[in-house]
Structure 1
Amino acid sequence: MGHGHGHGHTTAGAVHRKRLMIVLPLTLSVLVVQVVGAILSGSLALLADAGHMATDAAGIMLALFAIWVAGKPASSRRTFGYQRAEILAAAVNAVLLLALSGYILVEAVRRFADPEPVGSTVMLVAALVGLVANGIALWLLREGQEESLNLRGAYLEVLGDLLGSVAVIAGALVIKLTGWVAADAIISIVIALLILPRTWKLLREAVDILLEATPKGVDLAEVRKHLLETPGVTDVHDLHAWTITSGVPVMSAHVVVEDDAFSRCGPLLDRLHQCLAGHFDVEHSTLQLEPAGHVDHEGARHH
């Protein structure tokens, strides 16, 4: 016997779609400015920042596509719809960023061995444009990144860009004032190292969801304890919790109840679901009510 709630979820990413649609043209504009600036100035740091912007643009387009796909209705083949497409997009973003970081590090080492001239004025102007645009984009995404893993990916990328722009400005000033072109390669390495830790965290969180790990902050022992405290419940087993996409945790369990509880299973189910929603923020749960001894007929089971 089961019962579920919340089949009509709106994903966290979809709520902030309009903000992403504003950030995308901002990102593309900065990308064009930085690519042109990198070509004119010969700056690897600016090229690295432009590469990061290109990855951002691709990531935001992936995020918008994923939000659109996630909003498609569920079907008999895909009972949760396409909501997990948002997590796949976040994972792709992380992989692209890791690849970009590797390229920057390799090219920076090559520049140390074979320095190239850098036009500091063009480098400085392009970096200032990037700083302003990234600041606006960061402000637009600040709320959504707390609710959606996909938007968090976009937010982290823009944050990395903003810090990258600051670093490029510092490098341009050093080159302009001292003529020390090695600063360009050093700044490139700094940008790559800024990207890596946040990207790794994003990838790890996306992989956890894809592997259906228990949602962060959910203690299954505590969940079981709360369910067992419900009058009429004698045991809980086959308890599972996972995440479909950001903001959509789900849970299932077999709940053993007293024999006379089946005559009032409706109110009992209501109390159990209220427990999960109220204490653990799980709106979608499936519970199988069964009498004592039924577990002996189920074969292998998970605790």
Structure 2
Amino acid sequence: MGQGHGHGHSGQQDRRKLATALGITLVTAVLGAVGAALTGSLALLADLGHLLTDAGALAAAFVASIVAARPRSGRRTYGWGRVEVLVAGLNAIALVAVVAWVAVEGVRRLFEPAEVPGLPLLVIGALGLVGNLLALWVLSGGDGQNMNVRGAALHVLGDALGSVGVLAAAVVLLTTRWPYADTVASLFIVALILPRALGLLREVGHVLLEGAPRDVDVATVEDALRAIPGVAAVHDLHVWTINDRSPAASAHLVVTGTPDAGCGEDSVLDAASALLRDRFGVAHSTLQVERDTHGDHEDPCT
């Protein structure tokens, strides 16, 4: 889990990679449009649909990475980091929509097969695969923890698999002339991409619903805080993520012992903050220290 700070250099690097991948995708989309128009291939149409949504996804991811870098303000006290999460969710929804359309059209073509020429399909599929692999290679060097970049990369991965499907369909058409090769390839692409898109969508929803980071067990955090000397109880513990790289936590710590047990340097507060930061990767924490004599546990330590 990232620390939630110091991502300026990483953000700039990701923006450059997103811009480069966008340029490659636009060139590949033009080739795919020409190929789909010439051949009438459903696999190429599916690939083109992915490419067009990819271009939008990459453009949105690029803009989101710029907006997310803006400093926080009096009205946006957490900053703009969740813009990347929102864009990742929109990209996942768009990909699910494209996949659903391809699935419906593929089922229809099982009953009404279309004649697709194999050679143009092979050439366009090969060119598309080269473009997809280049874009994936560019994005692979980005921040692996950035949901925004992963969402964009998922789109490009879908296109790469689509291009592989196109090539497979072309080979089958050239060698056997089986009329369902193109349709089967498109449905195979759907089966590969849909689970990944839904998985990203679930992850986005988890972040927006203030879910705990997937690698942080809240019960373990509570036990660790309660084990700090001087801590009698822990309540109102919350662990969530501002975006997928910025975990945060808040809690009320009920303390016992001498009056200094919960205040000042080398205190319960310092120990708890260090624990959350060093053991659980939560650099941003808000902790309230309370006396066990306060029945409502809301009065501040004095």
Q: What TM-score results when the alignment is normalised by the length of structure 1? A: 0.91
Q: Equivalents in 1 of 2:117, 2:243: separation in Å?
A: 46
Decide which moves more: 227-236 or 88-97: 227-236
The equivalent residue for 1:261 is 260
* Alpha-carbon offset, residue 297 of structure 1: 5.5
Which runs of structure 2 are paired with 1:244-255 in the superposition (5 Å)?
244-255=242-253
* Alpha-carbon offset, residue 180 of structure 1: 1.9
Contact kept? 2:254, 2:297, Cα under 8 Å: no
Structure 1 residues 236 and 41 mapped into 2: Cα distance closer, same or farther (>3 Å)?
A: same
What's the secondary structure of 2:296's corresponding residue? helix
Decide which moves more: 240-249 or 102-111: 102-111
Q: For 1:40-65, what per-residue CA distance to the aligned partner results, in whole angstroms no more than 9, with x for missing partners?
A: 01101011011111111111111111
Decide which moves more: 18-27 or 287-296: 287-296
* Alpha-carbon offset, residue 181 of structure 1: 2.3
* Alpha-carbon offset, residue 290 of structure 1: 1.3
2:147 paired with 1:149: yes
* Alpha-carbon offset, residue 134 of structure 1: 1.3
Match among 77, 80, 103 for residue 79 of structure 1: 77
* Alpha-carbon offset, residue 176 of structure 1: 1.6
Contact kept? 1:215, 1:249, Cα under 8 Å: yes
Decide which moves more: 99-108 or 109-118: 109-118
Structure 1 residues 263 and 239 mapped into 2: Cα distance closer, same or farther (>3 Å)?
A: closer
Opposite residue 168 of structure 1, the aligned amino acid is V
Contact kept? 1:239, 1:254, Cα under 8 Å: yes
Decide which moves more: 69-78 or 87-96: 69-78
Contact kept? 2:92, 2:198, Cα under 8 Å: yes
Which runs of structure 2 are paired with 1:16-95 in the superposition (5 Å)?
16-95=14-93
Which runs of structure 2 are paired with 1:89-238 in the superposition (5 Å)?
89-144=87-142, 146-238=144-236
* Alpha-carbon offset, residue 120 of structure 1: 1.7
Structure 1 residues 14 and 221 mapped into 2: Cα distance closer, same or farther (>3 Å)?
A: farther
Structure 2, gaps ≥5 residues long: none
Q: Equivalents in 2 of 1:101, 1:263: separation in Å?
A: 56
Opposite residue 264 of structure 2, the aligned amino acid is C
Which runs of structure 2 are paired with 1:281-292 in the superposition (5 Å)?
281-292=281-292
Contact kept? 2:290, 2:298, Cα under 8 Å: no
What's the secondary structure of 1:231's corresponding residue? coil
Identity %: 46
Q: Equivalents in 1 of 2:209, 2:202: separation in Å?
A: 10
Q: Equivalents in 2 of 1:8, 1:19: separation in Å?
A: 19
Contact kept? 2:110, 2:180, Cα under 8 Å: yes
Q: For 1:112-164, what per-residue CA distance to the aligned partner results, in whole angstroms no more than 9, with x for missing partners?
A: 22222212221111110111111122222224362111111122222221111
Contact kept? 2:32, 2:48, Cα under 8 Å: yes
Decide which moves more: 71-80 or 256-265: 256-265
Contact kept? 2:230, 2:262, Cα under 8 Å: no
Q: Equivalents in 2 of 1:114, 1:208: separation in Å?
A: 41
Contact kept? 2:118, 2:171, Cα under 8 Å: yes
Contact kept? 1:70, 1:84, Cα under 8 Å: yes
* Alpha-carbon offset, residue 246 of structure 1: 1.8
Q: Equivalents in 2 of 1:166, 1:43: separation in Å?
A: 14
What's the secondary structure of 1:251's corresponding residue? strand
Q: Equivalents in 1 of 2:197, 2:247: separation in Å?
A: 23
Q: Equivalents in 2 of 1:65, 1:188: separation in Å?
A: 31
What's the secondary structure of 2:72's corresponding residue? coil
* Alpha-carbon offset, residue 167 of structure 1: 1.1
Q: Equivalents in 2 of 1:178, 1:230: separation in Å?
A: 71
Structure 1, gaps ≥5 residues long: none
Structure 1 residues 6 and 273 mapped into 2: Cα distance closer, same or farther (>3 Å)?
A: farther
Decide which moves more: 205-214 or 14-23: 14-23
Contact kept? 2:255, 2:262, Cα under 8 Å: no
Q: What TM-score results when the alignment is normalised by the length of structure 2? A: 0.91
Q: Equivalents in 2 of 1:161, 1:295: separation in Å?
A: 60
RMSD: 2.1
